[in-house]
Structure 1
């Protein structure tokens, strides 16, 4: 296949921007609902057990997807970098646990306000981890985003809550996970990385979560079922989104998850939005959007 043919195929795959944006908006809403369900269940039951059951459904989903592709499970599992793939899966499982703990302590609004900085952490770490060039404009945007995080955390205030650092830790973990995903993607297909993510996380959470098993009432089993469905649906929508549209066009709309999570946190859990959280989150989002814009400009210049 010629280079021109490859470009034409890529264009054909990524030319439906309106559909991609629509799918991303729906995806962020589904993930926000998932976070609300996780917040409720984790306030009633151990986080490890909740994440374990969620991963069972996630693993079933990725295995079902793998079976549908050419070569089946064997092809999906084939990798030349199993250690990195396993580490990725373990890191994501740990990040989910940390973030859900943040939901129960800080609520959806403040947790997501801080977590929103993870794309900036990806941009900052892409240089040392992936060897990508990070220009002064992106470093300036990263600095602005970091100021936004400080405004939210208020580390110099007497009322500073150390628990506010928890979603920042989750953001750092997710950023490293994203960078490792990009790194292993140089050799492995998306289906392979997705397979290892689900299966590794499921094995790890089963080994951990079974120790924290506790009875669940019928109504909460229904909520757990909804949690599993939203998790699977969200991941499927995200995959579909990146299949129909280029990432640089749809990624800015991922910030809507913060908006949806805030709406759910306020309406369902009685949370409030403090002025410093709103202003800090606005700075982080603005810095993130600028970073994505610079990425797109650089991509066009190549």
Structure 2
């Protein structure tokens, strides 16, 4: 049963972003020691088990959760998210948490830009202006033309584009399927895809790292549970701006635990991206 408690929803969203930031830090540690695809595969095994447990406890059980009239789109969504996670975790190992999240923060702007061609939604000049300003912020972070531009910086940008498309497809399937159905397909199809790919990259892990892997699985399931609770108690438009806190928490973890630094251009570019993203969310809420 849903209810509207914005304050509680905000607190749930803050907790969600903190847990996901911790998950990103653990992912960076494990992916720096082991193959990225294997790490994501094991994470998906636990995630699929969590999703199926949630579905089994709902009315109609697994059969009702799996019922959909658009299995190809649902399956593609699941594969896309699994691939996006692999790309983003790879970005953590190459660029660190700070710069990866700084670039990834542009995904709400990509959602706004792609909502027209993908969903047929109208995007007014104000939001197009915000998208353009956000793109300037991305360019400030990437610094093309200053010194040697690293193509590695395009990795989190690709992840942002993939996640934006995943978000739009989630809105598309929501026209016919429930959130429980989309959640079920996300976990199960992602686990199938990652198992098919990850078994070829299996590596033995040390005992301490299996503990970290357990923590990664728990934070993944815990973060999704908190996100579910967030949207149960508050409207998405009211709490979505607080999702940017994951950038803040991940940056703190990167600086304190991985000795990363926040370069001035990254701070300035991120501020521009976040401001533009918050404006697009505000415009979407007003139009809604």
Q: What is the TM-score with the length of structure 1 in the denominator?
A: 0.94
Q: Do residues 126 (structure 1) and 115 (structure 2) align?
A: yes
Q: Do residues 145 (structure 1) and 137 (structure 2) align?
A: no
Residues 12-46 of structure 1 show CA distances to partners (whole Å, capped at 9, x for unaligned) of: 94520000000000000000000000000000000
Residues 120-146 of structure 1 show CA distances to partners (whole Å, capped at 9, x for unaligned) of: 000010011101111111011111100
SS in 1 for 2:177: coil
- Aligned residue among 44, 52, 59 for 2:41: 52
Contact in 2 for aligned 1:14/1:246 (Cα 8 Å): no
Q: Do residues 267 (structure 1) and 239 (structure 2) align?
A: no
Q: Distance in 1 between matches of 2:102 and 2:21?
A: 13
- Aligned residue among 165, 173, 176 for 2:165: 176
Please name the residue that 1:157 is paired with: 146
SS in 1 for 2:192: helix
- Aligned residue among 187, 194, 203 for 2:176: 187
Please name the residue that 1:18 is paired with: 7
SS in 1 for 2:189: helix
Q: Unpaired runs of 5+ in structure 2? A: none
Q: Distance in 2 between matches of 1:297 and 1:191?
A: 27
Q: What is the TM-score with the length of structure 2 in the denominator?
A: 0.99
SS in 2 for 1:293: helix
Residues 87-120 of structure 1 show CA distances to partners (whole Å, capped at 9, x for unaligned) of: 0000000000000000000000000000000000
Please name the residue that 2:233 is paired with: 244
The structural deviation recorded for 1:237 is 0.4
Please name the residue that 1:4 is paired with: none
Please name the residue that 2:245 is paired with: 256
SS in 2 for 1:107: helix
Residues 62-93 of structure 1 show CA distances to partners (whole Å, capped at 9, x for unaligned) of: 00011011110000001111000110000000
Aligned pairs, number: 288
Moved over 6 A (4+): none
Q: Distance in 2 between matches of 1:235 and 1:132?
A: 28
Contact in 2 for aligned 1:19/1:245 (Cα 8 Å): yes
Q: Unpaired runs of 5+ in structure 1? A: 1-11
Contact in 2 for aligned 1:31/1:234 (Cα 8 Å): yes
Please name the residue that 1:73 is paired with: 62
Matches within 5 A, 1:101-120: 101-120=90-109
Please name the residue that 1:212 is paired with: 201
Contact in 2 for aligned 1:49/1:210 (Cα 8 Å): yes
Q: Distance in 1 between matches of 2:232 and 2:114?
A: 26
The structural deviation recorded for 1:156 is 1.4
Please name the residue that 2:27 is paired with: 38
